[in-house]
Structure 1
Amino acid sequence: MSDDTSAQAVLRKRLYWHSRRGMWELDLLLIPFLEQRYDTLASDDQEAFQQLITEEDQDLFGWLMRREWPETPHLRRIVQMIVEHAETVDNAVYRTL
């Protein structure tokens, strides 16, 4: 484990642990997004991700499975980004098979 105690490293570790949920389906969407896209997001999108992971699992599941969308625009935007990221990654995996 890294000994980095900078504010950025502490935040990153906190985000990682909060992205680990009680549902495997959520882990498969949130953790890769955090690892692969979070650092490149605009600050308002990073804040939206931080807010998103404080939501209840059942709400996250409904949103990320596209059964419904968050009412607030900034949460809707980050959910759409996560879903699109997962679709892009899935398509890239299938192209390599």
Structure 2
Amino acid sequence: MFSTQRFNRLKWACRRGMLELDVLFMPFVEQAFDQLSEEQKVTFERLLTCDDPDLYAWFMGHQACEDKELAEMVSIILNRVKV
């Protein structure tokens, strides 16, 4: 279970150095995070520890993420944005 403090740290981590990532992460964490399973929440938290250039490449489709769990989370976020 994510405590309020842990969730607030997660929201802060969603603020990136790239606007392209901010517009993906901020709405996702505010609108869809609560609907994720506990395992997916941990995976999302881990995703936010990745470097911005890697995240940008994965989300823009320039490079495939080799980590299966992270690749699935990228897909979940992108599908959420398309809705």
TM interval, shorter chain, is over 0.9
* RMSD across aligned positions (CA): 1.0
Find the counterpart in structure 1 of residue 74 from structure 2. 79
**Alignment pair present for 1:12 and 2:14:** no
- 2:12, 2:76 → 1: CA distance? 20
The structure that has the greater radius of gyration is: 1
Choose from 50, 62, 71 the match for 1:55. Answer: 50
Give the TM-score normalised by the residue count of structure 1: 0.81
Give the TM-score normalised by the residue count of structure 2: 0.94
**Structure 1 residue 69 displacement after superposition:** 2.1
With a CA cutoff of 8 Å and minimum separation of 6, indicate the structure with the bigger relative contact order: 2
One-letter amino acid of the counterpart of residue 52, structure 1: L
**Alignment pair present for 1:69 and 2:75:** no
Gaps of 5+ in 2: none
> For this pair of structures, how many residues does the alignment match?
82
One-letter amino acid of the counterpart of residue 50, structure 2: E
Partner-residue secondary structure (3-state), 2:49:
coil
**Any runs of at least 4 consecutive aligned residues in structure 1 with deviations exceeding 3 A, and if so which?**
none
Gaps of 5+ in 1: 1-6, 89-97
Q: Identity, % of aligned pairs?
A: 35
